[in-house]
Structure 1
Amino acid sequence: MRARCLIVDDEAPARAELRYLLDTFEHVQVVGEATNAEEALTLLRSLHYDVVLLDVRMPGGTGLEVAAALREATHRPKIIFTTAYPDHAVEAFDLEAVDYLVKPFDAERLGRALERALSGAPDESEPQQPATGGGSQGDALGRIPVQRGDRTVLIDQSSIVYASAARGYSYLQLAQERVLVSLSLNELERRLRGHFFRAHRSYLVNLDHITELVPDFKGALVLVMNDHQHSKVEVSRRQARELRRLLGM
């Protein structure tokens, strides 16, 4: 059974390019195109699609609004945003998008997004041993690139309070904001040096930014961090034992 795909983009050349790329995947079939948000929602309510390639900025409503409207749908397709604008990625992942592709992209990049959409994103596995140091030589600067519009900003690792997994990407929580980076949590774990600890399969914390450890009734821990909202990060039971050992508790 081929996956049914809807293309949503207000520009005809962009739709044609997406259809051309999708033709290279035998397991995917394009069964509809929409040029705006209203058309997209009409089609999505009339047929069960497996995946939607969704532009962000369109006349009459944004792709983000379409994704938000689909949250309550009984059959919710997987959403891959395809856009020329990189500055909406955080909002897209908050709406549970599978991927966020910035134009131009090739068939290989689209293929990875489709694989994630149709087979499920690989879990960020919990490490056998905690990461408390040792980046590779290529990561000697200890900085993480973050896209801000058309600029790339280098975030110093010491300013990262913690990182959380987001379907093959990661959020970095800084003191006053949260940003999205195109690195998985496992990749971040390999790159970051210093006092970083894999507290949970979904969290990597900077030990220098922990202000409080709160035990829970299951034998695990909750960490209170020193960002502006005093975020709480769960520590798995196995990693809680290791963290207590590291802290001499």
Structure 2
Amino acid sequence: MQPRALIVDDEAPAREELRFLLEQIGTVQVVGEATNGEEALLLLDSLDYDLVLLDIRMPGLSGLELAGRLAEKPHRPRVIFTTAYPDHAVEAFDLAAADYLVKPFDAERLRRAVERALAAGEPAAAEADGAASPAPPPSRPRVAEPDPLVRIPVQKDGRTVLVAGDAIIYAAAARGYSSLMLAEEHALVSFSLNELERRLHGHFQRVHRSYLVNLRHVRELVTDVRGQLVLVMNDRRRSRVEVARRHAKELRRRLGV
């Protein structure tokens, strides 16, 4: 039997779109919909769900409050937050969310989130570099400079802001989303670091499983007390980005040092 999913969103078009995308994916069966947190609790008390796709800002009980209640249930479903607001990601992952999707997203992004949520015993995405888990394959060589029109869509205050690739100092990975470090601020996006790497080729390079760096914004290369190579970026904060040993040789070659 397919895993059972519950959609919780106060907007009917959003519920319809989620159901449509989930039917395209075919991984789970949608057996319930709720328009607010209170309705969702009633459904969750009457049936064991494997997955809850949960909006955050709803009348009454918020999605974050509902997720906190789910932690008390004997059969705790996995939670994927689906929201138009990226500014609750940290709170969501504090509640052990499986993923955090910022609208709009497509079927492929949702499919990966569902697979991650349903996978049992999957190692944490923030696993320390150099741990015993298999290392990812080496980065593919870049063959072209990025199109100067490359833009990364960022959801901000209900608007979609297009951030130019060259404005990105570096990107950092987290579970289910990435943080773009800009000159004056940072922004959350629903793209994985691998997706950003495909979009931001050319003078961007993966220097760690958790970091993608714009080589044009590297100010210094220093070595810390452990002998680890660290990049000092040219933003106002002089951000420091650790370089994994397996990426150091290629990085030095590309920087000409």
- Scaled by the length of structure 2, the TM-score of the pair is 0.68
SS at match of 2:114: helix
| 1:158 partner letter | D
With over 3 angstroms needed to count, the CA separation of the structure-2 counterparts of 1:55 and 1:233, relative to structure 1, is same
Contact preservation (8 Å) 2:81, 2:92: no
Gaps of 5+ in 1: none
Q: For residues 70 and 76 of structure 1, what CA distance do their matches in structure 2 show?
A: 6
Q: For residues 129 and 18 of structure 1, what CA distance do their matches in structure 2 show?
A: 34
Deviation, 1:8, is 2.0
SS at match of 1:171: strand
With over 3 angstroms needed to count, the CA separation of the structure-2 counterparts of 1:142 and 1:8, relative to structure 1, is closer
Contact preservation (8 Å) 1:64, 1:92: no
Contact preservation (8 Å) 1:135, 1:193: yes
| 2:36 partner letter | N
With over 3 angstroms needed to count, the CA separation of the structure-2 counterparts of 1:210 and 1:100, relative to structure 1, is same
With over 3 angstroms needed to count, the CA separation of the structure-2 counterparts of 1:45 and 1:240, relative to structure 1, is farther
Deviation, 1:239, is 0.8
Contact preservation (8 Å) 2:101, 2:177: no
1:89 aligns with 2:86: yes
Number of matched pairs: 240
Aligned to 1:134: 144
Moved more, 233-242 or 30-39: 30-39
Q: For residues 2 and 72 of structure 1, what CA distance do their matches in structure 2 show?
A: 24
Contact preservation (8 Å) 2:101, 2:176: no
Gaps of 5+ in 2: 126-134
Q: For residues 158 and 76 of structure 2, what CA distance do their matches in structure 1 show?
A: 32
Deviation, 1:70, is 5.7
Q: For residues 106 and 194 of structure 2, what CA distance do their matches in structure 1 show?
A: 24
Aligned to 1:54: 54
1:158 aligns with 2:169: no
Alignment equivalent of 1:215, drawn from 210, 213, 224: 224
Q: For residues 76 and 154 of structure 1, what CA distance do their matches in structure 2 show?
A: 37
Deviation, 1:216, is 5.1
Sequence identity (%):
60
Contact preservation (8 Å) 1:130, 1:197: no
Contact preservation (8 Å) 2:102, 2:190: no
CA RMSD in angstroms, aligned pairs only: 4.1
Aligned ranges 1:1-249 → 2 under 5 Å: 1-10=1-10, 27-30=27-30, 33-38=33-38, 40=40, 49-67=49-67, 77-83=77-83, 86=84, 88-92=85-89, 95-96=92-93, 97=97, 98-100=99-101, 102=103, 110-119=110-119, 125=136, 127-129=138-140, 131=142, 134-135=144-145, 139-166=147-174, 169-192=177-200, 195-212=203-220, 213-215=222-224, 217=226, 219-249=227-257
Q: For residues 227 and 68 of structure 1, what CA distance do their matches in structure 2 show?
A: 37
| 1:128 partner letter | S
With over 3 angstroms needed to count, the CA separation of the structure-2 counterparts of 1:25 and 1:186, relative to structure 1, is closer
